[in-house]
Structure 1
Amino acid sequence: MNVLFHIDESSRWNMALGNIQNMIRYMEDQAIPYQIELVANGPAVCELQDSVSEKLGLKEPLCSLSPKIRICACRNALMGNHITPGRLLPFVDIVPAGVVEIAQRQDDGFSYIKP
């Protein structure tokens, strides 16, 4: 199963991470192969900064998920929020445009979830 999670609101991080953790647990318990991608755009890219994620208690869950899922930040949103790539958590991939990444993944057959 291929699933794309989309987050663009900073207030939705805990819900998104909880949804992803629950999905992974289910998939692994049922021995279902999966590929999960999380795309952050808009203001939600701010929480992918190392210092911000640590301050908000998001760093540990993001780090624990990073080997199992792909975590992406929209370059346009980073520029709009004046965030340089060096401030991001080291495992975050930067995509040129979050909306294009979302559309491409849906075209690839990923199910779209926006917590």
Structure 2
Amino acid sequence: MNVLFHIDESLKWAMVLGNIQNMIQYFDQEAMHYRIELVANGPAVCELQDAVSEKMGFKNALLSLSSNIRICACRNALRANHISPELLLPFVEIVPAGVVEIALRQTEGFSYIKP
């Protein structure tokens, strides 16, 4: 199963991380193959900064998930929020436009989830 999680609100980080962890646990219990991608755009890219994720308490969860999922930040949102790519967690991939990445994954059959 291919699943794309979309986050664009900073207040939803705990929920999206919990949703992803629960989904991975289910897939593992059922021995199901999966691909999960998380796309952050809008203000939610702020929490992908190393220092911010540490301060907010999300860094360890993101680090743990990074070996199982692809975590992406929208370049347009980074620019809009004046965030330099060097400030991001090292495993975060930058995509040119979050909305384009979401649309591309949907054309590839990814299920879309936005908590």
Task: State TM-score, norm by structure 2.
Answer: 1.00
**1:11 CA displacement:** 0.1
Structure 2 counterpart of 1:92, which letter?
A: V
Partner of 2:64 in structure 1?
64
TM-superposed CA distance for 1:34, in Å, is 0.1
State the identity %.
Answer: 75
Alpha-carbon distance in structure 1 between the residues aligned to 2:56 and 2:13: 10
What letter is aligned with 2:26?
A: Y
Match of 1:91 in 2: 91
Runs of 4+ that moved beyond 6 A: none
In structure 1, what residue type is equivalent to 2:88?
L
User: Equivalents in 2 of 1:56, 1:9: separation in Å?
Assistant: 14
1:100 Cα offset (Å)? 0.1
One-letter code aligned to 1:8? D
Unaligned runs of 5+ in 2: none
* Separation in structure 2 between the aligned mates of residue 108 and residue 93 of structure 1, nearest angstrom: 19
Deviations 1:13-69 (A, max 9, x none): 000000000000000000000000000000000000000000000000000000000
